[in-house]
Amino acid sequence: MTALPTGSTIGILGGGQLGRMLGVAAAQIGYRCLVYAPEENPCAAAVAVGHVRGDYDDVDALRDFAARCDALTYEFENVPAAPLRALGDAVALHPNADALELAQDRLREKDYILSHGGRPADYREVDSRETLEAAIDAIGVPAILKTRRFGYDGKGQVRIMSRNEAAAAWADIGKRPAVLEAMVAFEREFSIILARGHDGDTRVYPPPDNRHEDGILSRSIAPGTGLIAEQSAAAADLARKVAEALGYVGVLTFEFFASAEGPVFNEMAPRVHNSGHWTIEGAQCSQFENHIRAICGLPLGSTALTLPRVEMTNLIGIDGEEAQRWLETPGAHLHFYDKGEARPGRKMGHVTQLFTE
C-alpha cells in the first residue's frame, strides 16, 4: 500500500476517549480526523476537524461521511458491521469488517480462538433457560453468564454460584442469547496489544498486569512479571496467528488470564485498548500512533518501554477538579477526557507514572 499523504482525513466511528486519543496521535504526525457519532458533543470531537452526527446503522449517512474521508477506523466494537460492509470499496476500513463481526459475538469469538489453538475457559452456548441449566450441568458452578453481544466493563453478565440461580440469571441478562463460561482459577490478568501493518509487520507491546475493580480496569502495570512474563510469548503467538488469519490492520488487543495451566483467553478487542493507555508516555510509540501508522500505510514504531516500569491508573467517576489533584504529583501525566458529568463507573480520565526501577 502507498502511504496516505499528510493532510489526509481519517474518519473515526465513535466519539469516546479512544477516538479522542487517536485524534491527538493523528494530528501529531500530520493527519486530520473527522468523527462520526450520534451524540451531540462527543469528547473525541474536541480534537478533530469536525463531527458528523448520525446513527451507526444509517447507510446513507455513513456513505456521505465516508466520501469525506481517505480511510475509516472505529474506536469501539459495537458499531454494526453490516452498514459498513454496505459501503463497499468506497474507502478503506481498518480493522476490517470480518474482525469487527467476530469480536461482536462472544460465541463466534471463542469458537474462532479455539480453532486457532487458543484456550478459552470451558464454555457452552445458551439460548434459553433450559439450555442454561444444561450448560450448568456440563460446566459446573461457579460460572459466569455473558450475553453474546454488547457487553463490556462488566455489563451484560452475571455470576452463577448455584444451579437454582439459573432462572434469575437468565432474567438478569434480558433472556438474550448468551455464553456460559466456567470460572477460571488465575493468578493475574494481562493483555497482549499488537499493531499490524498492511505489509504484515507486527509489533507487540510488553504485556501489562491488569487490575480490575467491580469489573472495570483500575490499573495497568507494565511490564507484567512472574506468571505473566512466563506466559506472554505463548499468548502473543496466538494473537499474531489470529491477526494474520484475519488480514488485520491496526491495533488488536487480547485479554488473558495467567493460570497454572497456561494463558487462558478471555476476549479480544479489534481496537486500541484501555490497558494500553500507558503507552502514550511509557512506550517509544504509543498504541494510538501505531494504529494511525498502520491504517495509513506507514512503518510501525517501536513498542519498547521508555523506562523500566510504567503504571496507568484509571480515573473512574471523578470530576475535573478532583482529577487535577494529580498535577501535584511529580512525574504524573494526567489525561482528562472532558466527557461531561462524572458518574459512578464512568471512565473520566487516566494518569500515567513512569519509574526508573
Could you tell me the residue ranges of all domains in the chain? 9-93, 122-182, 188-355
**Band of the pLDDT at 215, cuts 50, 70, 90?**
confident
Neighbour tally for 148: CB within 10 Å: 21
Give mean pLDDT, residues 253-279: 97
Region 310-323: mean pLDDT is 97
pLDDT in the model for residue 29: 98
Phi then psi for residue 160, to 5 deg, are -120, 120
pLDDT of residue 154: 57
In the chain, pLDDT over 70 holds for what percent of residues? 99
In the numeric block, which cell numbers belong to residue 243?
A: 491477526
**Which ranges of the chain would DSSP assign to H, the alpha helix?**
17-28, 59-67, 81-85, 97-103, 106-115, 129-139, 166-172, 227-246, 279-282, 287-295, 320-323
| CATH for 9-93 (3.40.50.20, 3.40.190.10, 3.40.50.300, 3.40.630.10) | 3.40.50.20
Whole-angstrom Cα distance, residue 183 to residue 160? 10
260-274: average pLDDT: 97
- Per cent of the chain over pLDDT 90 is 94
Q: Which fold has domain 188-355?
A: D-amino Acid Aminotransferase; Chain A, domain 1 (3.30.470)
Identify the band that residue 150 occupies on the pLDDT scale cut at 50, 70 and 90: confident
Mean pLDDT of 234-261: 98
Predicted pLDDT of residue 214 = 87
Least confident of 81-95, 149-163, 166-180, 249-263: 149-163
Would you place residue 99 in the very low, low, confident or very high pLDDT band (cuts 50, 70, 90)? very high
Q: What is the CATH number of domain 122-182?
A: 3.30.1490.20
Q: Do 122-182 and 188-355 come out as alike in CATH topology? A: no
357: pLDDT confidence band, cut at 50, 70 and 90?
confident
What would the mean pLDDT of 266-284 be, rounded to a whole number?
97
Q: Region 136-161: what's the mean pLDDT?
A: 86
Check pLDDT > 90 for residue 209. yes
Tens of pLDDT, residue by residue over 16-75, are: 999 999 999 999 999 999 999 999 999 999 999 999 999 999 999 999 999 999 999 999
Write down the pLDDT at residue 152: 58
**Across 21-25, 94-98, 146-150, 319-323, least confident range:** 146-150
Across 177-189, average pLDDT: 95
Give the Cα-Cα-Cα angle 95, 81, 303 (nearest 5 degrees): 20
Average pLDDT over residues 189-218: 97
Taking residue 57's Cβ as centre, other Cβ atoms within 10 Å add up to: 12
- pLDDT score for 156: 81
| 9-48 burial: b if 16+ Cβ within 10 Å, else e | bbbbbbbbbbbbbbbbbbeeeebbbbbbbeeeebbbbebb
Q: Which of 120-134, 142-156, 240-254 has the lowest mean pLDDT?
A: 142-156
| Mean local confidence (pLDDT), 310-337 | 97
Q: What is the pLDDT of residue 151?
A: 62
User: Would you say the pTM of this structure is higher than 0.85?
Assistant: yes
pLDDT of residue 341: 93
